[in-house]
């Protein structure tokens, strides 16, 4: 009884906690397929009209296009630079490694409001407000720490002796990089790219300052709508963002799965 009591209490608490954690996600998904014209739960009848509104309205289409474009820019920049940096961290003997890493993680620690205002401050005179490339670059700084954290742990699984072997067998440094390091690190790079894309796709505060009217992203339009008057289409847009998150998580799981099947060695060693 003494052992069963706390164990049962824990199970009940965990059940309740999981319910509370998932409820807001499920609610949005249900609202999105409802027919109601204002925030009301549960919806009285089902319909896909808000998805039709979302995908049919040119203003929402523009926001979607901006979001995707900005996230693509941020994803490419953060993944490429983050991969090089992570490789340097894992392989080089440089001093002050920990200090440098903690500096590079700062964009996710420093309040986004401050970063966003500073980025907005320099963007004004340079006429960069609303420039998708600039917003993507700014998002890349926030995505970079995520790429680093993911790749640092995955590159640790790449055996340095494989690189030494390739080098001693006559491969060039570039050859080692492209034919040994890249293929071995590829699943990690893919995961990192997925989460970098997601970080930018979901980012609100930097976009809020930098988007202007030209390049409003989906989160910015949701924010505006929640501030002024909640349009019912918001539920469908939110459900779409959740679907993108779900897709990223599924793809990441597939990548991890493929990695454990192909090379059980390093995974087991971790």
Partner 1 sequence: MTVQRAPRFNDGTVLIVPAVLLLALVFVGPLIWFFVRSLAALGTPAEIAAHAWAVITSKAVLTALSTTNWISLLVTLLVLLASYPVAYYLATHRGWRFTLVLFCVVVPYFTSIIVRTYSWMVLLGRNGLVNQALLKTGLVDQPLTLLYTKTGVLIGMVYVLLPYMVLTLYAAMKSIDPSLVRAARGLGAGGFYAFTRVYLPLSMHGVISGSLIVFILSIGFFITPALMGGPADVMIAMLIERSVEITFDWGGAAVMSLLLLAATLVLYGIYYRLTDVRRMMGA
Tallying the residues shown for the chain, one arrives at: 270
Q: Is 46 helix (H, G, I), strand (E, B) or coil?
A: strand
Q: Is 247 in the site for partner 1 (CB under 8 A)?
A: no
Judged by CB under 8 A, which of 162, 249, 250, 258 binds partner 1? 249
- Residue that the structure tokens 């993911």 belong to: 150
Q: Which of 48, 55, 61, 84 binds partner 1 (CB under 8 A)?
A: 84
- Is 141 among the residues that bind partner 1 (CB under 8 A)? yes
Q: Which of 120, 186, 256, 266 binds partner 1 (CB under 8 A)?
A: 120
Q: Which is nearer to partner 1, 96 or 261 (CB)?
A: 96
Q: Are 141 and 107 in contact (CB under 8 A)?
A: yes
Tell me if 198 contacts partner 1 by CB under 8 A: yes
Q: Is 260 in the site for partner 1 (CB under 8 A)?
A: no
Query: Between residue 43 and residue 62, which ones bind partner 1 under the rule CB under 8 A?
Result: none
Residue pointed to by tokens 């009217």: 213
Choose among 136, 128, 256, 243: nearest CA to 192: 256
Could you tell me how far CA 86 lies from the centroid of its own chain? 18
Site membership for partner 1, residue 256 (CB under 8 A) = no
**Intra-chain end-to-end CA distance of the chain, in Å:** 38
Under a CB-based contact definition with an 8 Å cutoff, are residues 219 and 70 in contact? no
Smaller CB distance to partner 1: residue 228 or 261? 228
- Per-residue interface string for the shown chain with partner 1, residues 2-41, x marking contact by CB under 8 A: xx--x---x--xx--xx-xxxxxx-xx--x-------xxx
Regarding 106 and contact with partner 1 (CB under 8 A), the answer is yes
Sites for partner 1 among residues 153-172 (CB under 8 A): 153, 160, 164, 167
Q: What share of the chain is helix, strand, coil (3-state, %, to 5)?
A: 75, 0, 20
Q: Which of 94, 96, 174, 228 binds partner 1 (CB under 8 A)?
A: 94
Residue 205, interface with partner 1 (CB under 8 A)? yes
Quote the CA–CA distance of 261 and 85 in Å, as a whole number.
Answer: 27
């Amino acid at each position: 009884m003494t052992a069963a009591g706390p164990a049962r209490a824990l199970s009940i608490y965990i059940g309740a906690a999981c319910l509370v954690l998932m409820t807001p996600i499920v609610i949005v998904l249900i609202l999105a397929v409802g027919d109601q014209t204002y925030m009301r739960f549960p919806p009285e009848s089902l319909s896909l009209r808000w998805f039709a509104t979302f995908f049919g309205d040119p203003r929402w289409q523009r926001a979607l296009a901006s979001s995707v474009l900005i996230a693509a820019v941020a994803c490419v920049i953060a993944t490429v630079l983050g991969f090089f940096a992570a490789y340097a961290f894992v392989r080089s003997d440089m001093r002050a490694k920990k200090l440098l890493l903690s500096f590079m993680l700062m964009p996710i620690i420093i309040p986004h409001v401050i970063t966003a205002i500073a980025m907005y401050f320099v963007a004004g005179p340079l006429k960069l407000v609303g420039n998708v490339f600039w917003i993507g670059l700014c998002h890349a700084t926030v995505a970079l720490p995520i790429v680093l954290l993911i790749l640092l742990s995955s590159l640790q699984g790449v055996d340095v002796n494989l690189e030494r072997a390739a080098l001693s067998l006559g491969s060039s440094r570039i050859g080692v990089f492209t034919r040994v390091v890249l293929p071995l690190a590829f699943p990690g790079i893919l995961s990192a790219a997925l989460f970098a894309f997601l970080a930018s796709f979901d980012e609100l505060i930097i976009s809020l300052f930098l988007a202007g009217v030209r390049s409003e992203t989906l989160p910015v339009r949701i924010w505006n709508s929640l501030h002024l008057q909640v349009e019912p289409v918001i539920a469908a847009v939110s459900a779409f963002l959740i679907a993108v998150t779900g897709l990223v998580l599924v793809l990441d799981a597939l990548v991890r799965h493929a990695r454990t099947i192909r090379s059980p060695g390093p995974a087991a060693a971790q």
